[in-house]
């Protein structure tokens, strides 16, 4: 099967690191694993759009462009249409890419089956004409979401049936345990759903060493037991190997979140758990654990915006190293069971085959 994956920027520079096993494969959303199964896989990043054509597109269609899509996205995808012809299936790895591709498909410029991977599409739900346009473009083009709550919410909001939950997974060969004695608590992530304010208030109640790796704004006066490393996906302050060591040298990982239907914190939690480190994470509306991860055995769920409970759980886990180590072992076993990138790639392949079969003559 010939499948092309379309990405936003940031993958090409990781390919060399991937070849030397200095990067995990999950950032390619299952493409590496499908290539290993013998499928012909192409990797394409959306090029920078012509500013003239992007400006024209924005000026003419800004009021009706679908949710989370701009003229830059539409023009950038359009520049790749020639390279997409003849593919058995196209996998668009973000909402903006998927909707831009759907526009070209709607205009008859591209005939290959496609699926779109979406996350956070309901963070700012489209209204009025934008909702109608978004729904029209999504119809008949399967949506993949990383967790059941967001998939069910999207089905209800858009009134569409081709919306599937395919739980995300991580590269458990790269993210793996090592025999380090944890000497800090780690918190990581830069999306807008991170709630570092609650973590900082919890840190004032428990004198434990906490490292925060983020590009999110933080209060000017964090307590002395917090140290901050500034970095994000686009501007990393540590590479993947260094992040691996940060996970391994932590005693456990804390992921504080604002409530959202988006399954925030999923990749960071799975990475940490694959490294054999327990995770404390906020219980949100979009919680991705479903029934696959047992609370207080393989993961610890805490209520939103409750620094007292968070501080209590951090102290409890820190002061019980035997239980902490046991939970870390169970956490990795859970990820191996239901959270690998191989499992995610199998879900992508199943969706691709379904779409290809639909277009086969009966």
DSSP, residue by residue, 226-259: EEEEE--SSS-SS-HHHHHHHHHHEEEEEE-B--
DSSP string spanning 79-93? TTHHHHTT-SEEEE-
User: Is residue 6 within 8 Å of 80, Cβ to Cβ?
Assistant: yes
DSSP 194: B
- Domains annotated on the chain, with CATH: 2-169+341-359 (3.40.50.2000), 184-338 (3.40.50.2000)
User: Is residue 278 within 8 Å of 253, Cβ to Cβ?
Assistant: yes
CA dist 286 and 147 (Å) reads 7
CA dist 249 and 271 (Å) reads 13
CB neighbours of 100 closer than 8 A, spacing ≥ 6? 69, 73, 74, 76, 77, 78, 92
CB neighbours of 60 closer than 8 A, spacing ≥ 6? none
- pLDDT tens, residue order, the chain (362 aa): 999 999 987 777 788 888 888 999 999 999 999 999 999 999 999 988 778 877 888 777 777 788 778 888 889 999 999 999 889 999 999 999 999 999 999 999 988 999 999 999 998 888 888 899 999 999 999 999 999 999 999 999 999 999 999 999 999 999 999 988 888 999 999 988 999 999 999 999 999 999 999 988 888 788 999 999 875 545 556 889 999 999 999 999 999 999 999 999 999 999 999 999 999 999 999 999 988 999 999 999 999 999 999 999 999 999 999 999 999 999 999 999 999 999 999 999 999 999 998 877 65
User: Is residue 238 within 8 Å of 246, Cβ to Cβ?
Assistant: yes
Residues linked to residue 279 through DSSP beta bridges, in sequence order: 253
Q: pTM for this one?
A: 0.93
Residues linked to residue 188 through DSSP beta bridges, in sequence order: 213
User: Is residue 186 within 8 Å of 211, Cβ to Cβ?
Assistant: yes
């Amino acid at each position: 099967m010939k499948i092309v994956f379309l990405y936003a920027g940031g993958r090409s520079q990781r390919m060399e690191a991937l070849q030397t096993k200095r990067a995990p494969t999950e950032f390619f959303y299952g493409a590496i694993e499908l290539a290993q199964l013998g499928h012909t896989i192409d990797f394409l990043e959306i090029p920078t759009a012509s500013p003239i054509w992007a400006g024209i597109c924005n000026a003419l269609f800004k009021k009706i462009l679908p949710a989370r899509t701009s003229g830059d996205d539409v023009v950038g995808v359009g520049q790749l249409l020639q390279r997409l012809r003849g593919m058995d299936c196209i996998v668009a790895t973000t909402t903006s890419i998927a909707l831009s591709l759907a526009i070209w498909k709607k205009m008859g410029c591209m005939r290959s089956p496609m699926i779109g991977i979406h996350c956070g599409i309901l963070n700012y739900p489209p209204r009025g004409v934008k909702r109608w346009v978004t729904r029209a473009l999504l119809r008949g083009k399967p949506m993949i979401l990383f967790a059941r709550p967001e998939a069910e919410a999207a089905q209800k909001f858009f009134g569409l049936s081709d919306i599937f939950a395919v739980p995300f997974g991580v590269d458990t060969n790269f993210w793996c345990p090592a025999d380090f004695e944890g000497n800090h608590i780690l918190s990581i992530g830069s999306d807008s759903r991170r709630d570092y304010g609650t973590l900082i208030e919890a840190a004032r109640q428990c004198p434990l060493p906490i490292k925060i790796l983020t590009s999110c704004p933080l209060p000017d006066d964090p307590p002395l037991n917090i140290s901050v490393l500034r970095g994000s996906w686009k501007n990393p302050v540590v590479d993947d190997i260094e992040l691996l060591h940060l996970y391994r040298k932590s005693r456990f990982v804390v992921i504080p979140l604002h409530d959202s239907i988006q399954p925030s914190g999923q990749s960071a939690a799975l990475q940490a758990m694959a490294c054999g480190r327990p995770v404390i994470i906020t219980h949100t509306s979009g919680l991705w654990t479903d029934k696959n991860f047992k609370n207080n055995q393989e993961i610890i769920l805490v209520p939103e915006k409750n620094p007292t409970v968070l501080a209590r759980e951090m102290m409890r886990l820190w002061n019980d190293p035997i239980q902490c180590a046991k939970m870390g072992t169970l956490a990795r076993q859970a990820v191996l069971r239901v959270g690998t990138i191989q499992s995610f790639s199998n879900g992508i392949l199943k969706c691709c085959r379904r779409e290809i079969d639909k277009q086969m003559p009966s």
